[in-house]
Structure 1
Amino acid sequence: MGIGKLVSLCVSHDEKITFVGEQSPAGNLYAIDLDGGDILWKFAAEKVVGVEPDKRSYPSIVHICIDKDDNVYANAYRFVTAKDGGRGYNGKAVAFNKNGEQLWQFPESENIDSWINWCDVNDNNDKVVLSTSAYEIRPDMKYRDTMYLIDKKTGQLINSIEVPPVAPFENTVMRGSPNFSEDGEFLAAACSDGRGMLFDAAGKVLWQRELSKPAQIDNVWINASGRDGFAAEAGVIFTTINTFNRENWQLPTPVEHPSNNSMFVFNYDGTFKYKYRALGTMEQIDFSNNMAACAVGRNVRTHNYAAHGAVVLDLNDGTELNFFHTEGPLQAVAISSNGKKIAGIEAPAVTPEGKIIGAYRLHIWQR
């Protein structure tokens, strides 16, 4: 791949094709035969969002989702940083059938001037949802809303939804959501400002909950960012990640936010069921048979390396059913449809003393 890197992946329902997105000068979306590894077709995001190699501005396929017919919906994205520190965004949603024939692109004749990090599709309401996560909202931006609902068959915009920000944030950011419920009636989303929200299929806010309220300590705001939102059979599920310094997220915080690295579960009427707090970042969640498999990564405040690994939870009450430890932080997780096998991807990490722990490993665990 040269200077490229893989950034997204999705497997067809018949498990014969994997769709892979990269960041590179081309920003290719590949369809790869899982049996032999042959590239069946590819599409270059550079065609729709451009490339500026001299500014290290490379296109990416940042997220991929599929419907029941294995039609592919992907977010193509590129940003560039100006000399004054300002950011320029170029985004486009593209749709293909499983044979690589392009179905539509949104917008048709321009780029979204915001970061479109996430998308989800639903077969029961024929909608695709996009969410934005731009670092700043400028007066000259056209695509300023938080979510965009698109007709999955035509690529036409149905409507867009602005979610007003809460202090001390200037805009609302969604990175790992929203996601549709299986029946297509609901959308669940977590905001980086610490809110969890449930919408109906049209994007109307049904309720919102404050998962991790930003706190001000010595004139500096700290917060535990919300990341994932799911509308599952067991309830509406949200996750938060590590505690961050609002002024400079790379600086350590003096304390942990009490709501960081947690999973919150609500009933669909908005009543609280329970909270599960992990000892490290909830990197990813996968579901099977009313269970959740969670990848637990780094805790940037406590450096608790015993936290790393895969945890399996009973979604009825948050009971911990299994824990499989890894030396390095676990970055990704999957659970088999029968709930008997767990897969995880471990990555190495560097301790404050400069020691490397863990390695790039694939783990398969039997429950």
Structure 2
Amino acid sequence: MFQDFEHQSLSLTNRIAMAPMTRSRSTQPGDIPNELMAKYYGQRATAGLIVTEGTPISEVGRGYSMTPGIYTPEQIAGWRKVTNAIHEKGGKVFVQLWHVGRRSHSSISGQQPLAPSAIKVPDQVFGPLPSGGFGMIEIEQPKAMTQQDIDNTVADFVQAAKNAIEAGFDGVEIHAAHGYLFDTFLRFESNQRNDQYGGSPENRMRFLLETLSAIGNEIGNEKVAVRLSPHVIEGFAEQDPELVSLTLKMLEKLQPMNLAYIHFSENISRYHEVPESFRQQVRDVYQNPIMVAGKLDKDKAQALLAKGYADLVAFGTPFVTNPDLVARFENNWPLAEFDADARLTLYGGNAEGYTDYSSYFA
């Protein structure tokens, strides 16, 4: 975990990544990244790579209140504070670009949520309450995307990627997991289209592949990554029986693009255990960098690296309470536990439970 990592233009001091985690600390109004966020990320910059919290590419793509965007000049300027704080400490950072799709409400996004098909599932997101303040609200009935909606969304992702480079990010990670927009296109349960974006596995992966290609043409494939969750069932009634085979077919198409990495999210919400056979099949068709996240500990992460199933290993909540997680792993120092008190301050609020966790020798 502590060896350097080199791939194309990406040069990391270790193979430990900080996984994306929604923290909802942006300045309101405007969902603007701020000095507090810069401090938070700067404290954790000893990670080989930081992947930011999910960052909406547009107002339409937003599904959770108080998450920082990357589609206004003020947001770009705010993110520059964050990237500067990370780079000053020798770290690297990708922004996770996010469109939530049907997991939204018009009181958050300003319009009816978008989806491959007009299929609603029971789900809640963090948004404005009718009585005032914020809390969990039921999502709305989504609208099936038109070709114009798809074209506009691709353009929004491309612009967000350009904005990310302007803000000083080292690259972008496209969020195509966890029941959000691209994930719903990949799965037959949520994608009942009969046009070129529905039906066959090739059609269902088309939207994501087109978007990745368009972004890569603009900022370079070596600065583009994508997050997938083929074994996670979050946002769906059942596991898609074709999703694993679809993912393997898609990886074959992604291999020649030479992306920065593929990021597999595992072991969250409702999920199936990832069999070793899948990891072997992935390596058979995909030889470029792979990141794995999902309730890993040091030993599990080391094993994935040793077997060649992953090149990078990502940790989420351990980084919440351990800003010096890399040093704690390297020196076998005990970890500060992510407990019930930490959960209470995970979303929203101020410095408490955000930037006030100390290093081991603080």
Q: TM-score when scaled to structure 2? A: 0.31
> Higher helix proportion, which one?
2
**Larger strand share, 1 or 2:** 1
Larger RCO (CA under 8 A, 6+ residues apart): 2
Greater Rg over alpha carbons, structure: 1
> Structure 1 length normalisation: TM-score?
0.30
